[in-house]
Structure 1
Amino acid sequence: MAVEDSYTSPMMTPTGGGEDVLKPKAQWNAQEFESSKWNKKAMHTILCAMDENQYKLIQNTRIAKETWDILEVAHEGTEVVKDSKLQVLETQFELLRMDEIECFNDFEVRLMDIVNQSHQLGDPYSDRRIKQKIMRSLPDRFESKVTALEENSSYKDIKPSEVIGRLLAYESRKGLTSTPPKKQKGIALKASKVEKEESEDSDEDMTLLIRRLKKFYKSENKGFGSKG
Structure 2
Amino acid sequence: MITDGPMKILNVNTATATIKGAPQMIEKNMSEWTAEDKMKANLDNVAKDILYKTLDKNMFAKIKTCTNAKEIWENLTQLCEGNYQTKENKLTAAIQKFENDKIKPGETLTEFDERFIGIIIELISLGKYYSNREISLKVMRALPKE
Asked if these proteins are the same fold (TM beyond 0.5), I'd say yes
- The equivalent of 2:57 in structure 1 is 52
- The equivalent of 2:23 in structure 1 is none
- The equivalent of 1:71 in structure 2 is 76
Deviation at 1:42, TM superposition (A): 3.4
- The equivalent of 1:6 in structure 2 is 4
Correspondent of 1:118 among 109, 117, 123: 123
After superposition, residues 23-34 of structure 1 pair within 5 angstroms as 23-24=29-30, 27=33, 30=36, 33-34=39-40
After superposition, residues 27-42 of structure 1 pair within 5 angstroms as 27=33, 30=36, 33-34=39-40, 36-37=42-43, 39-42=44-47
Deviation at 1:33, TM superposition (A): 3.5
* In 2, Cα distance between equivalents of 1:31 and 1:136: 62
* In 1, Cα distance between equivalents of 2:41 and 2:117: 39
* In 1, Cα distance between equivalents of 2:38 and 2:120: 41
SS of the residue 1:46 aligns to: helix
Flag the 1:135–1:120 CA change in 2: closer, same or farther, 3 A.
same
- The equivalent of 2:112 in structure 1 is 107
* In 2, Cα distance between equivalents of 1:59 and 1:65: 13
Q: Does the Cα contact within 8 Å between 1:43 and 1:62 map onto a contact in 2?
A: no
| Percent of aligned pairs sharing the same letter | 21
Q: Tell me which of the two structures has the higher relative contact order, counting C-alpha pairs closer than 8 angstroms and 6 or more residues apart.
A: 2
Gaps of 5+ in 2: 17-25
- Greater helix proportion: 1
Flag the 1:51–1:103 CA change in 2: closer, same or farther, 3 A.
same
Q: Does the Cα contact within 8 Å between 1:7 and 1:35 map onto a contact in 2?
A: no
Q: Does the Cα contact within 8 Å between 2:8 and 2:41 map onto a contact in 1?
A: no
Q: Does the Cα contact within 8 Å between 1:10 and 1:28 map onto a contact in 2?
A: no
Whichever residue aligns with residue 109 of structure 2, its letter is: F
- The equivalent of 1:206 in structure 2 is none
* In 2, Cα distance between equivalents of 1:69 and 1:53: 17
RMSD of aligned Cα (Å):
3.3
Q: Does the Cα contact within 8 Å between 2:101 and 2:142 map onto a contact in 1?
A: yes
Whichever residue aligns with residue 24 of structure 1, its letter is: M
SS of the residue 2:76 aligns to: helix
If you compute each CA radius of gyration, which structure gives the higher value, 1 or 2?
1
- The equivalent of 2:86 in structure 1 is 81
* In 1, Cα distance between equivalents of 2:45 and 2:135: 39
* In 2, Cα distance between equivalents of 1:131 and 1:63: 47
1:136 paired with 2:134, answer: no
SS of the residue 2:72 aligns to: helix
Q: Does the Cα contact within 8 Å between 1:58 and 1:70 map onto a contact in 2?
A: yes
Flag the 1:115–1:102 CA change in 2: closer, same or farther, 3 A.
same
Gaps of 5+ in 1: 142-228
Flag the 1:50–1:16 CA change in 2: closer, same or farther, 3 A.
same
Q: Does the Cα contact within 8 Å between 1:93 and 1:114 map onto a contact in 2?
A: yes
TM-score of the aligned structures, taking structure 1 as reference length: 0.47
